Amino acid sequence: MICVNEQTLSMITLFFSAFFIIMLLGVQSQLVKNKEVLPSFCTALMVGSLQLFLYKATPNAGLGESMCYVIGGALGLVSSIYVHNLWLKLTGQTEK
């Protein structure tokens, strides 16, 4: 069994929350550009929910947590490109 201390858990939580917030914002940007209203609305709800969670989770974030947040966000943005391309393939759309 793996034991994880509170700081490590906080770093993991911040990494993934930043990853998904920024990834969803990147996907949402493409959806808005393509005038896809319902998917844009849904991603906005997810972004808002994750941001609320993030604000609750970071009142005492230190350097390690901040670095995890920054790295998670950067990787999330790159991932949004691939997620949007996958969305286009799954829905049979082309880039507008």
Q: Give domain status of residue 42, yes or no.
A: yes
Domain range for 25 is: 18-91
Asked if residue 3 lies in contact with residue 26, where contact means CB atoms within 8 angstroms, the answer is no
Q: Give domain status of residue 86, yes or no.
A: yes
Q: Give domain status of residue 96, yes or no.
A: no
Rounded mean pLDDT for each run of 10 residues along the chain, 96 residues in total: 76 88 91 89 91 79 86 91 88 77
pLDDT at 76: 92
Q: Give domain status of residue 1, yes or no.
A: no
Asked if residue 6 lies in contact with residue 61, where contact means CB atoms within 8 angstroms, the answer is no
State the Cα–Cα distance between residues 89 and 80, nearest whole angstrom. Answer: 14
Q: Give domain status of residue 2, yes or no.
A: no
Q: Give domain status of residue 4, yes or no.
A: no
Sign of the torsion angle spanned by Cα atoms 84, 88, 93, 95:
positive
